[in-house]
Chain A
Amino acid sequence: MKGAPRVLHVAWNDLRIMVGDKVFLFWTLVFPMLFIVLFGLLYKSSDSAPAVAELTVVNLDQGRWGAYFLDKVKSPAVDLKIVGSEPAEYNRLIVLPPDFSAKIEAKRGQTLALKKREGASTQAAARVETRLYQAIARMLSELILYGEGDLSKFLDRHAEFRDIVQVKSGFPEKTVTVVPSGFDHSIPGTTVQFIMMMVIIYGGITVMEDRKTGVLARMLFSPLTKGQVFRAKLLGRWMMGLVQALILIVVGKIFFKLNLGNTPLSLLVIAVFAMAMAALSVFIGSLCTKEDMIIGLAVLLANIFAGLGGCWWPSEIVPRGVRQVAMISPAYWAMDALHKLRFFQGGFRDILPNLGVLAGLAVLLGFVSARFFKVRD
């Protein structure tokens, strides 16, 4: 590669200038860290579902069936809080009426009202509701098994319910062994988002400034050709993205025990993604003539791509249509590859389609940005 050392020299110089910038630390570390902490804590306490779901019970039953029913509801995941009357504050409340036992013994149907406070954890509410249904199923099975006998004597002697069908849950083989932490979700998302934001803003503005102030034109007086200047600018912006990613990953590993799965492959994904963003930044820098326009475009694109691409929230909660649209976002392909590596212990073959799309995008954007790259206005 003739001229490669010169291209590398200019790119390295761009990187050196960026690292020496006063706000470099803010963009590459401080601001992304705030995002990581905020989103990491949010992921961690998703839906603020407590480990043990609380159920407040008002047991007014005058017989013995109420206590028996509550015994069936008890579980390590459900905390029963028995109170004498309906309190003003609760998350979930069930009232067993005074004639609860009488109705059962008379085989008369009854419906219990489960009151759920708006705004309380929906996950905890679902857990409690499920447990209540399970308790009812257990009791009904015992009653059917008991047959036509006198129900007032049921509690003294009856066949106990057996869990013949049991449920075992876990993760797929060769994936994760422990539930991933909130930071395992938020660090890759924030890294991808900030590579987009920083590379487009910084990279775009410096290309525009260098053109407007004549730096690019002056570079042509050196042995550099226009093509080499373009390659140098592209390489410099790519290195910016890589430096940003490395800083966040190292900090994530040290402070948040970040687990990326296969780290070299994760870096490869980020490298190809950063290349696409570098090309986009040179393209935007070549088109725009105002700094504010570049900042506006960068914020707009980075936020749309990050939101669609799954950098901010788990894609499982996103409507299917939006997930289809998300494929237009480069962040989607990067995040999907990082998920495969982190959560499914994927290998190179698994992320090949993602790498292909990102590399294709990098080539396309590189071609377009080369076509529009200019050294003078």
Chain B
Amino acid sequence: MRRLFLVLGSDVRRHLKSPLAIVIFMAIPMVMTALIGIIFAPKAEQTTLPPIPVVLVDHDKSIASRLVLGAFDADQLKKMFEVTVADEAEGRRRMEKGRASAILIVPEKFTLDLLDGKTTTLTVVKNPAEQFLPDVVEEFVATMAVMLSGAIQAFEAEAKGIRVLLDSPVDLIPWETLGPEFGKAQKKVVAASKYLNPLLIGIKAEETRAPGAKPRFTRRDLFSIMLPGMAVMFLLFIVQTLMRDIISERGDGKLRRMMTTPLRPMELVGARLLGGWVMGLVVLLVMVAVGTLIFGAYWGNFGYFLLLGAAVSFWTAAFFGLFGALVRNRNQAGAFSAPIILAFSLFGGSMMNPEAMPKAFRAIGVATPNRWFIDGAALVRDGRFPLVPLLILLASGLVLAALAAPALRRRISV
């Protein structure tokens, strides 16, 4: 046993001397979490989308087109849209550079057609490279069109009066007859104000939660959900790096030299498996600590999480122990390990929320440690004991260790 711990201590010291690869693997989940967090984390403000850039092409250059422009300038919409008045060529240039989600074209004679009560068309040209924002612009313009149509119909007679005024030279306008017309308009405005102030029918949108549904998550929640998946993915990379010692030592003859000492093969196997397990757990805990400090991630009951972390580290050490016994040389190990880890991570939910994945992907994910660790971490966060994930990781880890130990012993003895 003493010799086992001597080997373990020596391994730890050796890895601490050149920790760069491990540090890089520990940095990756943090960088990835930060990047995804910056982009997708819910913001404090209501709108989660950046302002939508819209180019307004005004071929009308009259009252109605200014009304359209003004509509985008309303208090709440100012944050939502960013309108630039330009020509179509400039709009297209902006679109190609990703600086316009849509171009809104106000046609020539828009104001005159409206005043005449003639049907007229606003054109929304959508950025073909974008998927969401152009539709928002289209919906908004459709609503604005309804409002304009309504206003024109309600004040049809007055609109026609304005039309006459626009067409006539000032000296031909019968100013004396305008008084009664303004009177009629005033009556309509007064009547309209009864419906508009306060609004006859208003809508108040509110978010509700289905019974038993979890509350909407915050930025901190997002980090807490993401980090376990990222951490387990890079734990696999790190433990694989540590466990590869056996293969390289077999290749360069170190193992044979070690076997000339009183060290027994099973002691060396035990030291390597224990080393992978303990160092894996330490690395995981460092990632947890850094995640907590930088992102404020929460993990739930620390005791439960420690158990889960120990189980997944054990599983990983046992798996790569067996893997090391099965591959022929270092090159083969290098070639196969990364694809295996990436496949585990893709199907197991480290790269994407399992709920968003196709059913087939989710079914395969059940066979990965990532999935059970992620599920277990979610249970711990919810304040529950991760019994099923823990049992599955421990049971399958024990089977792997039971297969790995004799296989490794055989490879070491050769």
The reply on B361 being an interface residue by CB < 8 A is yes
**Cβ-defined contact, B92 with A172, below 8 A:** yes
Please tell me which stretch of B20-28, B221-229, B393-401 contacts chain A, meaning at least 4 of its Cβ atoms lie within 8 angstroms of it.
Answer: B20-28
Q: Which among B135, B204, B335 has the greatest number of chain A C-beta atoms within 10 A?
A: B335
Size range of the chain A interface in the assembly? 35 or more
- B:357-398 near A, CB below 8 Å: 357-358, 361
Compute how far the CA of A185 lies from the CA of B144 in the bound complex, rounded to whole angstroms: 32
Compute how far the CA of A254 lies from the CA of B285 in the bound complex, rounded to whole angstroms: 46
Point out the residues of chain A lying under 8 angstroms from B330, CB to CB: 291
- Specify which of A126, A134, A176, A296 is in contact with B136 (CB 8 Å cutoff): A126
**Cβ-defined contact, A163 with B130, below 8 A:** no
Compute how far the CA of A51 lies from the CA of B194 in the bound complex, rounded to whole angstroms: 37
Least distance between A85 CB and chain B CB atoms (Å) = 15
The reply on A153 being an interface residue by CB < 8 A is no
The reply on B192 being an interface residue by CB < 8 A is yes
Q: Which among B32, B35, B204, B331 has the greatest number of chain A C-beta atoms within 10 A?
A: B35
In the complex, the chain B residue whose C-beta lies closest to that of A100 is: B201
**Cβ-defined contact, A23 with B336, below 8 A:** yes
Compute how far the CA of A125 lies from the CA of B127 in the bound complex, rounded to whole angstroms: 22
Compute how far the CA of A205 lies from the CA of B413 in the bound complex, rounded to whole angstroms: 30
The reply on B199 being an interface residue by CB < 8 A is yes
SS class, residues of chain B in contact with chain A: helix
Please tell me which stretch of A4-12, A38-46, A221-229, A357-365 contacts chain B, meaning at least 4 of its Cβ atoms lie within 8 angstroms of it.
Answer: A38-46
**Cβ-defined contact, B128 with A176, below 8 A:** yes
The reply on B288 being an interface residue by CB < 8 A is no
Compute how far the CA of A161 lies from the CA of B49 in the bound complex, rounded to whole angstroms: 34
**Cβ-defined contact, A163 with B149, below 8 A:** yes
**Cβ-defined contact, B153 with A130, below 8 A:** no
Please tell me which stretch of B95-103, B260-268, B312-320 contacts chain A, meaning at least 4 of its Cβ atoms lie within 8 angstroms of it.
Answer: B95-103
**Cβ-defined contact, A339 with B129, below 8 A:** yes
**Cβ-defined contact, A38 with B130, below 8 A:** no
Point out the residues of chain B lying under 8 angstroms from A209, CB to CB: 331
**Cβ-defined contact, B200 with A143, below 8 A:** yes
- B:117-136 near A, CB below 8 Å: 117-133, 135-136
Q: Mark A136-162, 1 if CB is under 8 A from B, else 0.
A: 111111011101100000000001011
**Cβ-defined contact, B96 with A165, below 8 A:** no
Point out the residues of chain A lying under 8 angstroms from B210, CB to CB: 88-89, 117-119
- Specify which of B132, B140, B202 is in contact with A123 (CB 8 Å cutoff): B132
Q: Mark B341-355, 1 if CB is under 8 A from A, else 0.
A: 011001000001000
The reply on B16 being an interface residue by CB < 8 A is no
**Cβ-defined contact, B335 with A130, below 8 A:** no
Size range of the chain B interface in the assembly? 35 or more
**Cβ-defined contact, B35 with A308, below 8 A:** yes
The reply on A112 being an interface residue by CB < 8 A is yes
Compute how far the CA of A178 lies from the CA of B410 in the bound complex, rounded to whole angstroms: 62
In the complex, the chain A residue whose C-beta lies closest to that of B68 is: A165
Point out the residues of chain B lying under 8 angstroms from A1, CB to CB: none
Q: Mark A85-128, 1 if CB is under 8 A from B, else 0.
A: 00011000100000000001001111111111111000101110
User: If the complex has contacts A140-B196, A144-B188, are A112 and B203 also in contact, measured as CB distance less than 8 A?
Assistant: yes
- B:20-51 near A, CB below 8 Å: 20-21, 24-25, 27-28, 31-32, 35-36, 38-39, 49-50
Compute how far the CA of A26 lies from the CA of B21 in the bound complex, rounded to whole angstroms: 24
Least distance between B119 CB and chain A CB atoms (Å) = 6
The reply on B195 being an interface residue by CB < 8 A is yes
Point out the residues of chain A lying under 8 angstroms from B108, CB to CB: none
The reply on A290 being an interface residue by CB < 8 A is yes
**Cβ-defined contact, B208 with A116, below 8 A:** yes
Point out the residues of chain B lying under 8 angstroms from A119, CB to CB: 210, 213, 216
The reply on A170 being an interface residue by CB < 8 A is yes
In the complex, the chain B residue whose C-beta lies closest to that of A169 is: B124
Point out the residues of chain B lying under 8 angstroms from A23, CB to CB: 335-336, 339
**Cβ-defined contact, A111 with B203, below 8 A:** yes
Least distance between B340 CB and chain A CB atoms (Å) = 9
Compute how far the CA of A172 lies from the CA of B206 in the bound complex, rounded to whole angstroms: 37
- A:198-248 near B, CB below 8 Å: 201, 205, 209
The reply on A2 being an interface residue by CB < 8 A is no
In the complex, the chain B residue whose C-beta lies closest to that of A163 is: B149
In the complex, the chain B residue whose C-beta lies closest to that of A41 is: B358
**Cβ-defined contact, B20 with A293, below 8 A:** yes
- A:5-27 near B, CB below 8 Å: 21-23, 26-27
Point out the residues of chain B lying under 8 angstroms from A116, CB to CB: 205-208
Least distance between A346 CB and chain B CB atoms (Å) = 7
- Specify which of A140, A172, A201 is in contact with B338 (CB 8 Å cutoff): A201
The reply on B150 being an interface residue by CB < 8 A is yes
The reply on B142 being an interface residue by CB < 8 A is yes
**Cβ-defined contact, B119 with A166, below 8 A:** yes
Question: Could you jot down 6 A-B contacts, CB within 8 Å?
Answer: A109-B202, A117-B209, A140-B195, A167-B138, A290-B21, A315-B98
